[in-house]
Amino acid sequence: MKKCKIYSTTKKAEAEAVVIDKCVLLPAPRRDDVEPAHISDGQCYYPPLYVINFTEGMNFNLIPFSVECEWGEYSDADDSPVRSWFSYYCGDDYTVKCGYCDTTTGKICIPPEMEHCEDFNEYGAAIFGGLADFDYNSEIYNDVSDEIKDKRKSTRAGVCSGLMNTKGEIISCRGYVGIEESHYGVFFGYQTADGWGAADSEGSELIEPLWAGISWDGMGGFTVESVTSDGRKTYAIINGSNWHDGEVVRNLTEEPTIIYSFPEDKRRENLSWEEHFYQERFRLTQKGDRYGLVRDVLENRDEPLSTYSEEILEPNYLYEDIPDAAYQSWIDAQIYYYAHIMSRTPRNLPGRIGDGWDDVPADIVNEVKKHMISNDMKQPETIEEVES
């Protein structure tokens, strides 16, 4: 029997426990509804779930615990990837080690080999790590500003971190200087000598870690921060690599956090989305005294990372001009779209009533025709003309 401690980083709670036969148990009075897992000198011991209320609702029934032990004391493996990770990034001379046990049985599921580990999220990933000695006087940091160095040091100062899955496998081998959980299984990681980026719960990189700062509220693209040579901050919106790659807008002078209530009477619906679920919102972008507009889109509520941003207006407008300018941009886009469609739609198609123009919104038919004439686009007469 060895003393240990269970804890929850999410609920910010902890409790004293003991390890008995590779199970983490807590002393408690005998219960009528549950048999004790162990009895010693008249004292009953139960798994964490039946003793401490903060263990309820833990994802995958796994809760972290810490214990003073030797390497491999609670592991059957001769070669530990976790120990190799710590040896490379942090050293492995710490005596108190962390692992995970099952809340319902107390059984140790992931052996205590880590210097630090946190609660699992609902996607099956958890932050683990340990102390590391980063030498900021090294030549590798010559191009890193003092401001960024200070920010790194304040982010779990001296900590090197990675991600682990519920099997105890390391799913992100990067030694992040700091890492924190965001929304929907997304983590923000700060990598040595580079900057902030984002990764998902499978360890896949969403945003390359090159930025002075990063934020995301769970919808649309990520907002990233840069610092110019004269110390000014600029902002950009970048879509994650799961969907639409690339920067949406860059060199903004203000952080794009203002949600814009777009007037309903100026909203031009995207007709191609009628049969699909989507959620949208608008954000203002700003360069100096000029404004633009970004639309954040969530295509599938069951896949929270199926979200991206698109630029509606570049930040070149007065604030009061945004509704009319955005409406016109939608009109222009539809005109271009339907002009292309009609240039590929035969006028005479067997079995069809009409020449295809009934599918074009009535209020832009004339504009589509003008666009086609000015761009030397013609509607084909037959399907053979399209295929040729």
Residue 275 confidence (pLDDT): 56
User: Closest by alpha carbon to 359, among 376, 340, 373?
Assistant: 340
- Predicted confidence band of residue 86 (pLDDT cuts 50, 70, 90): confident
Mean pLDDT of 77-83: 83
Match 């990063």 to its residue by tokens: 214
Q: Please, which residues have CB within 8 angstroms of residue 367's CB and are 6 or more apart in sequence?
A: 331, 335
Select the more confidently predicted residue: 327 or 155.
327
Per domain, the residue ranges of the chain are: 1-79+94-118, 332-388
Highest mean pLDDT among 140-154, 228-242, 271-285, 363-377: 363-377
Edge-first strand order for the sheet with 279-287 is: 279-287, 290-298, 307-317
CA geometry: angle at 349 spanning 344 and 351, to 5°?
140
Using CA of residue 139, residue 141, residue 142, residue 143, what is the dihedral sign?
positive
Whether residue 157 has pLDDT greater than 90:
no
- Predicted confidence band of residue 301 (pLDDT cuts 50, 70, 90): confident
Whether residue 235 has pLDDT greater than 60:
yes
- Predicted confidence band of residue 329 (pLDDT cuts 50, 70, 90): very high
Residue 385 confidence (pLDDT): 82
- Say if CB 88 and CB 160 are below 8 A apart: no
Mean pLDDT of 138-167: 67
Among 17-21, 74-78, 109-113, 222-226, the range scoring the smallest mean pLDDT is 74-78
- Predicted confidence band of residue 151 (pLDDT cuts 50, 70, 90): low
Residue 271 confidence (pLDDT): 46
Instruction: Tell me how far CA of residue 142 lies from CA of 57, 135, 193, 195, in angstroms.
Output: 46, 11, 9, 14
> At residue 171, what is the residue type?
I
- Using CA atoms, how far apart are residues 212 and 225, in angstroms rounded to an integer? 5
Mean pLDDT of 61-75: 95
- Predicted confidence band of residue 184 (pLDDT cuts 50, 70, 90): very high
Residue 300 confidence (pLDDT): 82
- Predicted confidence band of residue 90 (pLDDT cuts 50, 70, 90): confident
- Predicted confidence band of residue 270 (pLDDT cuts 50, 70, 90): low
Structure tokens at 201: 């719960």
Count CA atoms within 13 Å of residue 49 on its CB side.
17
Q: Please, which residues have CB within 8 angstroms of residue 143's CB and are 6 or more apart in sequence?
A: none
